Structure 1
């Protein structure tokens, strides 16, 4: 769910940043800028859907929505803990945002500041990883990697006479005795690679960008400027749409989502055109309140 596609200055059509990823039982809210709480209302999404709050860095368009989100968690009585990930160098900023005004705090927000690159959380959903980006303030990008699994082959199951509840038992236990024969899960399935999601915000091109994007099924990436402003992008630590397309092409991305557009642009079709010159896959120019599906494996 795209909650905002603007950058430093919102426009009539674009709120500041905000992205909610629904992944199994997780709801990861990335970079909530000013107005994110209201955007959730427009999207019909409750605060209880949020399980993790993930900040890339502490520029206002990526974090000024934190006070409203944190207070809404308590107002709605969200019972599960919400884990907050953010660059450790910004602890003081997060403290101010979390307690920006008086409120009755009943929700549990568990702060987990990011000290270094690597895996910052694991669960049934897979692994949540971070890499450093190149921006004037400390910034991290995120990647969610699902564990590899098995895809059952119906024709193989039929051949061994396995059906119904037996399939689930075989998946859980790894083998199953059918008559006088023991059938292993490898005999009736093939390896299925886990899905990958990558989130890359304010940065120049750097190794971290390519590492995060590697084989991503869905890459959400900033494309603040067009190539005509490439020098400005480099000066302020941002990407162009053409660079985003290059990253997707060289990293084997399946679906590319462009976002975080400078307020100087009213017409966004040129962003897709520039990215498409480098990347031949599916490109989405994000729109506020748009829903974008992660491609199936």
Structure 2
């Protein structure tokens, strides 16, 4: 059975950073960063339930207006997360427009914006279309282990990094993954479809294994239904495997504190999307700009033991050296190179990785 999360870069590696993650069967998606969103069609943007913004440099936040313009007039609640000061920046973006007609809208598009405050709190405020997007409903809560979202099937956690300003890294973690055995589906002559999502929820939830589970689907105009004990479907159709993990890291200086947080956050990830801005020969320039080199990115991926690395956020000056950036990352990931190879992550570093 295909995995639940389907992550992909929105733009090319030299263009604005953003990663779109589609959820199989659920007609929903999340987004890491709000750079240029032009490549995403409206149907994909309208699936978004959560957006996680690393920081508000223009190449990471310029897509906000397009997302609001597309969603305006729809009955939708959109949750946004960002670094310290993010709630005020959202308020200021919305205040840049006139909203004198929105009280007549039949729907109340709502933005819930939250910022990871420097003191380890999450500050949240709401902006309702029908109230002209006035900031209201503020509340504060303590962040626990960096967890921003905790839902039935997944959670999203963050780690604050230093980019001269705070820049957030994110990890999307599936709690458990119920894998469907396709061969058994074929043997039972059962189709794929939304019912499999409900089956997974029932298996992971506190549902009596003896309870009947109805499998419903349509074949053209014909409606089909079968009933099986939940425990029988669990034992004969599925197996429980570790959930997926997708990590997003961008705009971070190569410092011991940042490195420790990145390695802890990305440990054993299925996908690590990591900025690869400069070549190794430009390490000093990277330090001054608060970015990673290709070698540093590869070394962090190696230390974290990730399965796949997707480099992005290449400096435009290397537009004709893309292969060299990728090769430096791959070499460091495979072999380890000084001085980054001397980097270690202590238990204390891991404990403090959430800021």
Verify same fold: TM over 0.5. yes
Q: Deviations over 1:133-152 (max 9, x none)?
A: 12101111110111124557
Identify unmatched segments of 5+ residues in structure 2: 1-7, 103-107, 121-144, 191-195, 212-230, 336-355
Contact 1:174 1:185 in 2 (8 A): no
Contact 2:279 2:325 in 1 (8 A): yes
Match status 1:196 vs 2:245: yes
Match status 1:244 vs 2:244: no
1:209 corresponds to which of 240, 259, 262 = 262
| Partner SS state of residue 277, structure 2 | coil
* CA–CA distance in structure 1, aligned partners of residues 267 and 279 of structure 2: 23
Contact 1:3 1:15 in 2 (8 A): no
Task: Return closer, same or farther for 1:96/1:247 CA change in 2, 3 Å cut-off.
Answer: same
Match status 1:32 vs 2:34: yes
How far did 1:163 drift?
Answer: 11
* CA–CA distance in structure 1, aligned partners of residues 329 and 252 of structure 2: 17
Contact 2:177 2:244 in 1 (8 A): no
* CA–CA distance in structure 1, aligned partners of residues 208 and 296 of structure 2: 45
Query: In structure 2, what is the equivalent of residue 285 of structure 1?
Result: none
Match status 1:3 vs 2:2: no
2:172 corresponds to which of 124, 131, 144 = 144
1:254 corresponds to which of 297, 301, 307 = 307
| Partner SS state of residue 22, structure 1 | strand
Structure of higher CA gyration radius: 2
Q: Deviations over 1:110-155 (max 9, x none)?
A: 1122233610111133111000112101111110111124557899
Contact 1:174 1:184 in 2 (8 A): no
* CA–CA distance in structure 1, aligned partners of residues 16 and 179 of structure 2: 40
Which has the higher relative contact order, 1 or 2, with Cα contacts under 8 A spaced 6 or more apart? 1
Task: Return closer, same or farther for 1:5/1:187 CA change in 2, 3 Å cut-off.
Answer: closer
2:94 corresponds to which of 93, 98, 111 = 98
* CA–CA distance in structure 2, aligned partners of residues 46 and 186 of structure 1: 32
Contact 1:147 1:194 in 2 (8 A): yes
Calculate the TM-score normalised by the size of structure 2.
Answer: 0.63
Corresponding residue pairs, total: 259
* CA–CA distance in structure 1, aligned partners of residues 176 and 20 of structure 2: 23
Identify unmatched segments of 5+ residues in structure 1: 7-13, 157-161, 178-182, 282-297
CA RMSD of aligned residues (A): 3.3
How far did 1:3 drift?
Answer: 2.1
| Partner SS state of residue 264, structure 1 | helix
Contact 1:23 1:125 in 2 (8 A): no
2:68 corresponds to which of 63, 67, 70 = 70
